[in-house]
Copies of this chain bind each other. A is one copy, B any other.
Amino acid sequence: MSLQFFPDGRFRHFLSLEDVPHAALEKLLESARELRADALGGTALRQHLLGKTVCNLFFENSTRTRSSFLLAAQRLGADVFTFDASTSSGKKGETDIDTLKNLEAMGVNAFVIRHSENGAVAKLAEAAGPGTCVINAGDGRHQHPTQGLLDMLSIREFKGSDFSSLKILIAGDIKHSRVARSDLNALRTLGAAEIRVCGPASLLPTDGTIDGCKRFEDLDQAIQGVDVVMMLRLQRERMEEGLINSLDGYFRDYGLTQKRLALAKHDAIVMHPGPMNRGVEIADEVADGPQSIILPQVSNGVAVRMAVLKALLA
């Protein structure tokens, strides 16, 4: 049995979208959709997690995801605090598991964990006590399941819940992207008609991640007729690693401009997990244009994190 489910199929932890069945995924998305009306403020949902404690446990820095989880937990009535284990003072030579077990002993009910290593969050979930749940807020290049979930909720919001008619393109640094991996899992589960991936060969994974996808190295070809364009953030370190030659060259070949976007369906939507590198992977005109749903994605992020917290804790 997977680490993230109870024998009866309910979520025990929330670690990956890889083995989440269609029905469970739909149920989470439906719950997020219902919560959305009250997700951005107000006090309507404060009773759900009253008296529960959520700890943002970050072994790798994150400010945006942390804020989103903080607001989601707070608006459900939970107490939330951050433990920054990314600094030497936070570490103090302690093992990651000891850090988690100590905080658990203080009465933490759910941990939201980000870690730079693939699989590190699952290892911490294995160490958690029976009453404690763990949510993966991003581990290495492996998974970022709440981002995957919010992306699906956003597609549903703008394109409807039938994915079988949608052609979806994921473009950019797929090789190093936990967002892409979670999105690919979810898109397959929801039955997307066609999934395309596009990037320079140096940034396309060869580990099976994109099996079954249509693989492109030319963005102008890849984008033809798609319904959804999901752009990925390019980490500047890829240039230092020699995986790309220059940011200008990357933008020329793989940046999403209005001209390129015109090759997609006329009502295609543009997504980005943020933070954006404007002028690197996306042009201002597209980021701020009428087809961009980048900010609604962020709003949906609070709602899906609420849905996950509620599924695990309420």
Q: Which of B50, B83, B106, B109 contacts A43 (CB 8 A)?
A: B50
Number of copies: 3
Known A79-B74, A94-B274; judge A106-B299 contact (CB<8 A): yes
Name the CB-closest residue of B to A129. B295
Which residues of B have CB within 8 Å of A62? 89
Which residues of B have CB within 8 Å of A70? 81
Interface residues on A, range: 35 or more
Majority secondary structure of chain A interface residues (helix, strand, loop or mixed): mixed
Contact B41–A51 (Cβ < 8 Å):
yes
Which residues of B have CB within 8 Å of A109? 41
Which residues of B have CB within 8 Å of A99? 275
Name the CB-closest residue of B to A42. B51
**A185 is an interface residue with CB less than 8 A from chain B:** no
Which A residues are closer than 8 A to B by beta carbons?
39-43, 50-53, 61-64, 67-68, 70-71, 74-75, 79, 81, 83-85, 89-90, 92-95, 98-99, 101-107, 109, 236, 274-278, 295-296, 298-299, 301-302
Show 24 residue pairs from A and B whose CB-CB distance is below 8 angstroms, ordered by the A residue: A40-B106, A41-B51, A41-B53, A41-B109, A43-B50, A61-B89, A63-B84, A63-B90, A63-B92, A67-B103, A71-B81, A71-B106, A74-B79, A92-B275, A93-B275, A93-B277, A94-B274, A94-B275, A94-B276, A98-B274, A98-B278, A102-B274, A105-B298, A106-B302
